[in-house]
Amino acid sequence: MRSILLAAGLLPLCLMAADIPPIRGLSRTDLLQVRDEQGQLKKAATPEEWEARRKEAKEAFEAVSGPLPGDDKRCPLDVKVKEEVDCGSYIRRLITYQSSPGGRVPAYLCLPKAVLAGKKPAPAVLCLHPTENKIGHKVVVGLGGKENRQYASELAERGYITLAPSYPLLAQYQPDLKALGFGSGTMKAIWDNIRGLDLLESMPEVRKEAGFATIGHSLGGHNSIFTATFDTRLKVIVTSCGFDSVLDYYGGNIKGWVQERYMLKMGDYLGHPQDVPFDYYELIAALAPRRVFINAPLRDKNFKWDSVDRVVAAAKPVFSLFGAPDGITVRHPDSEHDFPDQERFEAYQVIEQVLGKP
């Protein structure tokens, strides 16, 4: 009976870690399991052997999101400043940049005054906003919306350069995905973020030696994971209320993902989420050996904290394989779908540990 219910996608998988089904014929929880060149299953003993699974996981994600663009879409950024506001210790600029031919991305760029004065360059953080269909990316620079989402402005006050691009098909950012050649809103966001990193990398004000950080809540939380999966310039990944296993998401009901702004192809797996070719088990492991900070509140109704713990437990052996056994930090505040002060400020400390003090 269990197997019948599991196949139908009706069993509460979050309660049965021992019965978690495989993904593409590989163990979902034993993430050291890989295929050799002959397609035989084996356990990775070196980071080099695990790269086969990292590659397969990325390809599986692209099968749903559409492919990551190539260099043909890496056109001139052509940055334009639309507005500049004095925010005390930093200047906030509303800019647009060209992420692909014919596609411009609105973003907030916050620059500490000490940096603009030429005293010294500062590390930079990509700040990705949560689902917000009225004000979009304004929420992360403190221009309205819910509390505890203003991480772009708080980090700028601490001396970091922050870039907060808008997410496609939310608020005033309404790109034509098909005309621009993207298979999903998710992949469009990933590419916009990657081009945002290109922008930061081009700026003399940015200290680049230690790489960049990304931070996001909810939509921004998994957007940070997705972007870091494809761009290793991100050395710190902060994800707040951003994920649980695809199997556990609303008890396996993944219809929330079936939107143009996310991934319409997820609709192919309604009723049988175990067949979705990607899951966060692999995506979190694919962040190794970089530094990861996870905020997973105990009363979050969107993403289950215990599912997060199962994902992290499975990913840790991969981090150990890469020489980073303590690379993941998880916090479980007694809150709802939120990014409380204590956890948010600790995330800033983790960013500082890796990128250095501004």
- What's the pLDDT score for residue 8? 37
Please report, for the domain that includes residue 190, its CATH number.
Answer: 3.40.50.1820
- What's the pLDDT score for residue 18? 55
Q: Is residue 28 part of a domain?
A: no
Question: Which DSSP string do the residues of 76-129 spell out, in sequence order?
Answer: ----EEEEEEE-SSEEEEEEEEEEETTEEEEEEEEEEHHHHTTS--B-EEEEE-
Tens digit of pLDDT at every position of the chain (358 positions): 333 333 333 334 444 445 799 999 999 999 999 998 888 999 999 999 999 999 999 999 999 999 999 999 999 999 999 999 999 999 999 999 999 999 999 999 999 999 999 989 999 999 999 999 999 999 999 999 999 999 999 999 999 999 999 999 999 999 999 999 999 999 999 999 999 999 999 999 999 999 999 999 999 999 999 999 999 999 999 999 999 999 999 999 999 999 999 999 999 999 999 999 999 999 999 999 999 999 999 999 999 999 999 999 999 999 999 999 999 999 999 999 999 999 999 999 999 999 999 9
- What's the pLDDT score for residue 160? 98
Q: Is residue 293 part of a domain?
A: yes
Distance between CA atoms of residues 344 and 140, nearest Å: 13
Structure tokens at 73: 């879409």
Q: Is residue 325 part of a domain?
A: yes
Structural domain that includes position 231: 71-355
- What's the pLDDT score for residue 37? 87
- What's the pLDDT score for residue 19? 75
Q: Is residue 225 part of a domain?
A: yes
Q: Tell me the per-residue pLDDT of 76-104, one tens digit each, with 9 for 90 and over.
A: 999 999 999 999 999 999 999 999 999 99
Per the listing, tokens 């790269």 go with 51
Per the listing, tokens 């649980």 go with 244
Q: Is residue 58 part of a domain?
A: no
Q: Is residue 127 part of a domain?
A: yes
- What's the pLDDT score for residue 7? 36
Q: Is residue 22 part of a domain?
A: no
Q: Is residue 306 part of a domain?
A: yes
Dihedral-angle region of residue 41 (phi above 0 means left; psi in -120 to 50 means alpha; beta otherwise)? beta
CA distances to 64, 214, 215, 289 from 326, in Å = 31, 19, 19, 9
Please give the tally of structural domains in the chain: 1
| 348-353 own/partner pairs: CB under 8 Å, 24+ apart | 348/151, 348/154, 348/155, 348/158, 350/236, 350/238, 350/291, 350/293, 351/123, 351/125, 351/155, 351/160, 351/213, 351/215, 351/236, 351/238, 353/291
